[in-house]
A and B are shown apart, each in its own frame.
Chain A
């Protein structure tokens, strides 16, 4: 079974621009979560989508948004980019079910965003 895929793998943008990142979950997985990873803050939760609905949101400004499509693929958007948005953006998918193991999260390779 193919793993989580993310595109693009690398992005370079300038301040003020916007960016859209894409994530395709493992086949059959219905939940997609997004994380930002920086050396100083570690892995921080952005938001989680299930059945095209945002179920949870982390403590990030409204410039960070996302959506999920009917095939469970997800996108996240960052508008008005700031230098501090430079980070590795990771998505993770999970099956979602009644068993604890169904909620294990598996990560994609990430998108490395550099804001100049």
Chain B
């Protein structure tokens, strides 16, 4: 069973703080890693993708990947109340000639004004 694990939360941080979201995965052949943001009642929105070890920064978001530890994280700097959402970690692996995305169950983030 290929699994993606996340803390379900809720994770509460004060406005302006750094929110740290973590994810581990079990399938060592995983090749691509994504973070989706999902507001209540809405569909997931792709906010970060990372394909190689290290850090990738995009605005207030930084994704970190460590393939040896099978670990992906998302840092949100200067957290805003509008960042309050569920964050889904997703892992892509090539199977039977096509990529299959496996999702964690998500971490609910609440940014307190």
A residues with a Cβ closer than 8 A to B are: 31, 33, 35, 42-45, 48, 50, 55-56, 88, 90, 92, 94, 100-101, 103-110
Contacts and interface: CB of A to CB of B under 8 A. Distances in A.
Interface string B40-54: 001111100101000
B32 A100 contact: yes
Chain A CB within 10 A, most for which of B43, B46, B92, B96: B43
Interface centre among A33, A43, A108 (most CB of B within 10 A): A43
Contacts of A108: 43
Interface stretch (B15-23, B75-83, B103-111): B103-111
Which 9 pairs show the lowest CB-CB distances between chains A and B? Answer: A42-B105, A43-B103, A55-B98, A107-B43, A100-B51, A103-B99, A110-B43, A107-B44, A100-B32
B87 interface: no
B79 to A, nearest CB: 24
B95 interface: yes
Nearest to B105: A42
Which secondary structure characterizes the binding site on chain A? strand
A45 B101 contact: yes
Contacts of B104: 42
State which size class the interface on B falls in.
Answer: 20 to 34
Contacts of B95: 56
Interface string B1-42: 000000000000000000000000000000110101000001
Nearest to B45: A107
B113 interface: no
A50 B44 contact: no
B46 A42 contact: no
A42 B107 CA distance: 11
A109 B42 CA distance: 7
A106 B100 contact: no
Given A42-B88, A56-B96, A100-B31, 19 more contacts: A31-B98, A33-B101, A35-B103, A42-B103, A42-B104, A43-B88, A43-B103, A45-B100, A45-B102, A56-B95, A90-B43, A92-B101, A100-B49, A104-B32, A104-B34, A104-B46, A105-B34, A106-B46, A107-B46
